[in-house]
Amino acid sequence: MDHQQILGLYTWELGTCFRHPGAGELETTVVQTLRTRLGSVEHIRACPSCVVAMEAKRQRLCEEAGVAYEPGHAGEACEPD
Ligand SMILES: [Zn+2]
């Protein structure tokens, strides 16, 4: 899968990338959803170049863990089903 195909698995909206919030509003996608202690939900968003970097890292971690890698889950851990 090339980068365009991987990025096509995500839904993009304007937002702030968690890896470089100083860059301002960019096309971003939700890579992680956190529930705070107060019960509110916080979305962690990343821009296309960060998603590609996260996917590459996740693929490596999955291979090391012996788990099948599937793109489209950049913010998730590599765990067997
Ligand atoms: Zn980014």
Q: What is the 3-state secondary structure (H, E, C) of 60-77?
A: HHHHHHCCCCCCCCCCCC
User: Average per-residue pLDDT in the chain?
Assistant: 94
Look at residue 81 in the predicted model and tell me its pLDDT. Answer: 64
| Cα–ligand 1 centroid distance for 66 (angstroms) | 28
| Cα–ligand 1 centroid distance for 8 (angstroms) | 16
3-state secondary structure of 26: strand
Look at residue 19 in the predicted model and tell me its pLDDT. Answer: 97
What residues have a C-beta under 5 A from ligand 1, the ion? 17, 19, 47, 50
- The residues with which 69 forms a beta bridge, in sequence order, are none
Mean pLDDT of 19-38: 95
* pTM for this entry: 0.89
Domain ranges of the chain: 3-65
Mean pLDDT of 42-58: 96
